[in-house]
Amino acid sequence: MSNVKLAVIYYSATGTNYQLAEWAKEGAESAGAEVKLFKVQELAPQAAIDANPAWKAHVQSTENVAVVQLTDLECADAIIFSVPTRFGNVAAPFKQFLDMTGGLWFQGKLMNKVVSAMTSAQNPHGGQEATLNSLYTSMYHWGAIVAAPGYTDPSVFLAGGNPYGVSVTVDQNGKMQEDVQQAVKHQAKRTVQIAAWVTQGLQLVQQGQQGQQQTNQQSQGSGQSQSQQQTNQQSQGSGQSQGQQQTSQQPQGSGQSQGQQQTSQQPQGSGQSQGQQQTNQQPQGSGQSQGQQQTSQQPQGSGQSQSQQEQPQFQGQQHLQSQQQQQFQSY
């Protein structure tokens, strides 16, 4: 899991989600991930920040935390978000950051990212679950893979039992009402673990595709070689066949005179059959002539009448009809 690159991105006004992000960073690093912590750019006017001492103090204490850039999303294998609830949805600065990811989404550079999220509110039913689901809806558009904690560890129950992600209730004095530190670390470790599985799986798929391409290229090359060999063999065989055909076409009985050949072509007697006449017309030195082949194909028992030849077939048909009638009666 040391190859997993995790980006922990948060937005926080008074420090609650910054603390959640720090715990997530610690949990992910203990799982062997390479972790970078980023904050979302503050959009509130300075007058509003100065009017809230806790807000002003937090902004000053986190000046050295890097502001997240779109390239940070592209480089990460996994992302953990932490953002407070605003009327059942994410805070405006965080939403503005999400809206800027359209270019990366269009290029397909956010797909298969493993993501998880955390949130906070002032009341136990202040919209924590709705906020997480709203954020995850954007992740579905990315084509990302949501790694929710579910109920996969006892720390989830101690933290309030939110299966979508850690959510914490903070009173007016900024004190967390639930003990969520271990639940946050578990969620971070789980996110890193799932990201490792996805990353390794994608690498295996890419290796398999490259291996298949190499195999196909080798097969095509081998097929062309075999085809060329077959073509050469056919060409050689064709040359030999043509030579043999030319040789066989030459008169084998070259010692016979032209007169003898002409004499053999004349009918030798009116009693001879047509097949024998065709035999005499062929060169005598050419082996078995076409006429003899045709003569051998004629019925040897030419003296039998047509009715005698058809009689066995007629008797066989009667026997077949008798068997069919017996079978029909047995149904």
Has residue 215 been placed in a domain? no
Has residue 43 been placed in a domain? yes
Domain count, the chain: 1
Least confident of 60-69, 173-182, 235-244, 265-274: 265-274
Has residue 242 been placed in a domain? no
Has residue 316 been placed in a domain? no
Q: Of 165, 194, 191, 190, whose CA–CA distance to 79 is shortest?
A: 191
Structural domain harbouring 34: 5-210
CATH number of the domain within which 106 lies: 3.40.50.360
Has residue 240 been placed in a domain? no
Question: Going by C-beta distance under 8 Å and a sequence separation of 6 or more, which residues neighbour residue 192?
Answer: 1, 4, 6, 28, 31, 32, 33, 78
Helix (H) or strand (E) holding 141: helix 128-142
Has residue 192 been placed in a domain? yes
Residues 141 and 207: beta-carbon distance below 8 Å:
no
For tokens 């948060």, name the residue: 10
Model pTM score? 0.65
Over residues 206-254, the pLDDT tens digits come to 787 777 777 788 877 766 666 666 666 666 655 554 545 554 455 444 4
Has residue 71 been placed in a domain? yes
Over residues 135-156, the pLDDT tens digits come to 999 999 999 999 999 999 999 9
Has residue 252 been placed in a domain? no
